[in-house]
Amino acid sequence: MVSLGIATGFERSYGVLKRLGATPLGTQRLVLAKCLAVVLVEVVQLLVLVGVGLILGWRGDLGAVAPVVGAVLLGTLAFAGIGLTLAGTLRGEVNLAAQNGLYLVLLLIGGIMFPLDSLPSWLQAPAELLPSSALADVMRGALTETSLNGGAAWIVLAVWALVAPTAAAKLFRWQ
């Protein structure tokens, strides 16, 4: 979210995307291409991590492969969509601050650094609707079989994966 969003925001402010806007590319294809680029980087990273893990003696659970891959794809779409929505609507400098600020918020109250039940009670229910919380819960469930929110987390993650890129494509401005 952060790297993609900041880079795209500055591409926009420097006029790079304005030139792309003169081509038949369109915002939907731009969003799709940027999401696919992130997925390709993730595939390379995954291959390196799994390769190093196997060399060091790790033996993963093959039953977790499908849920992990699904969660990573949905999470990628959700976070790329959020980053591109901000990048396509905010000025470069404001986008930079917004991306980093949102990253911290999602990290702190999204069930990643602290369990959701350690948050104030009034914040727990809204925090469960965050994509970071849903992704953390789905990954936790796939890798350790200790999911806190089960199927609801998959639904939240799928909704974010659909809504965020759609919003990015609809709201994106070339300049």
The pLDDT tens digits along the chain (175 residues) read 899 999 999 999 999 988 988 889 899 999 999 999 999 999 999 999 989 999 999 887 777 888 889 999 999 999 999 999 999 999 989 999 999 999 999 999 998 998 899 999 999 999 999 999 999 999 988 888 766 667 899 999 999 999 999 999 999 998 8
Q: What is the structure's pLDDT at 147?
A: 60
- 40: domain range? 2-171
Which residue matches tokens 């600020």? 101
Do the beta carbons of residue 116 and residue 124 sit within 8 Å? yes
Q: What is the structure's pLDDT at 149?
A: 61
Burial of 93 (0-12, 13-18, 19+ CB in 10 A): exposed
Specify the number of domains making up the chain.
Answer: 1
Cβ-proximal residues to 143 (8 Å cutoff; 6+ apart), any chain: 61, 64, 68
Q: What is the structure's pLDDT at 148?
A: 61
Considering just the CA atoms, what is the radius of gyration of the chain in Å? 17
